[in-house]
Amino acid sequence: MSDPLGPVGFVLGGGGMLGASEVGMLAALLDAGIRPDIIVGTSVGAINGAALAVDPTTRAIERLTDLWYELGTSDVFDGGPARQLATVAKHGHLHANTTLRNRLRAELPAEIEDLPVTFQCVAASIEYARAHWFTRGPLVEAVLASCAVPALLPPVKIGSEHFVDGGVVDSIPVGRAVELGAQTVFVLHVGHIEKPLRPPRWPWEAGLVAFEIARRHGFSDALAKLPEEVRAHILPTGENSGPAVAVRYRSTTGVRRRIERARVATAAYLADAGLAATERPAEKPTEKPTEKPTEAPAEKAAQNPDQSGTSGGGERTGAD
């Protein structure tokens, strides 16, 4: 039986600790019988996407829920103000990535090409000032590069290049999923993109606001360029309040609540869209979808940064 959705792509954007909502969205998709053929991720979405690509079942949701709670309670982002100031003065970033690397190594296999589902994540190359899509090679290093938030975590050196957070170049990589052949795209996009921004009041807010403007513009531009035959579903988080720009990155307050709200909201959205009872093939095909762009970096990467997303859901097509 042919799949009415066609090749399915999951697009996971960035958003710091708000990225916990993506776990709830993934849970609702799996509950509805919707399985990905293609997964692309940016920043924290690369962590969530990689974990799902390793095991695209409900077991991944359980592991991700535990991982998200541990990210805030472990020493991944440890150190008080004095220690952080000393680290910044010496190294140019607040935290080392050693603990996060070790935690990811415990969860993720060695190579991207060994995953049962096509997975790619993006990072920004410092030397060449362009998007670099990781399509093969060590999975942990690729994910670390994709979520190396400037000033928060150190750049990741792979080969002769240094990489920082993929949100700098492609915060919500809808276009990449389409390039890889997805005909139905589910966008896991956190935060409040519909909430108007306000002028910055403090110097440190200026960069965040500029970053958010570029991110929103890039996402809107990517949706406008969707081919007519592609359907995009922007999944809801279930959060009706919160900042328009996310700034907290190590608070686990309400993580499990955030996951559950996103799960409930996304399940309701899928039911309203007539997708709750979608029948997916019982077995995944042995061959991955043909990867149209085979080499990284991508030449046509959209320029839209990281941080949050949308609380409401919606469906878009290239004709909209």
d(CA 304, CA 286): 34
Work out the average pLDDT over 53-64.
Answer: 94
Amino acid at 199: P
Q: What is the predicted pLDDT for the residue at 254?
A: 75
Place of tokens 């979520």: 147
Percentage with pLDDT > 70 across the chain: 73
Q: What is the predicted pLDDT for the residue at 288?
A: 61
Question: What would the pLDDT profile of 1-37 be if each residue is shown by its tens digit?
Answer: 346 788 999 999 988 778 899 999 999 999 999 999 9
Read off the pLDDT band of 255 (50, 70, 90). Answer: confident
Provide Rg for the chain, Cα atoms.
18
d(CA 286, CA 271): 29
Q: Return the half-sphere exposure (C-beta side, CA atoms, 13 A cut-off) of residue 209.
A: 11
Percentage with pLDDT > 90 across the chain: 49
Q: What is the predicted pLDDT for the residue at 242?
A: 55
pLDDT at 73 over 70: no
Read off the pLDDT band of 243 (50, 70, 90). Answer: low
Q: What is the predicted pLDDT for the residue at 53?
A: 97
pLDDT at 309 over 50: no
Q: What is the predicted pLDDT for the residue at 90?
A: 39
Question: What would the pLDDT profile of 176-191 be if each residue is shown by its tens digit?
Answer: 999 999 999 999 988 6
Instruction: Output the average pLDDT for the chain.
Output: 80
What pTM was computed for the model?
A: 0.81
pLDDT at 65 over 60: yes
| Least confident stretch, 50-64, 86-100, 283-297, 306-320 | 283-297
Place of tokens 């399915």: 8
Q: What is the predicted pLDDT for the residue at 293?
A: 46
Q: How many residues does the chain have?
A: 320
Q: What is the predicted pLDDT for the residue at 97?
A: 77
pLDDT at 128 over 80: yes
- Identify which of 298, 300, 211 has the alpha carbon closest to the alpha carbon of residue 247: 211
pLDDT at 195 over 70: yes
| Least confident stretch, 50-54, 74-78, 124-128 | 74-78
d(CA 177, CA 158): 24
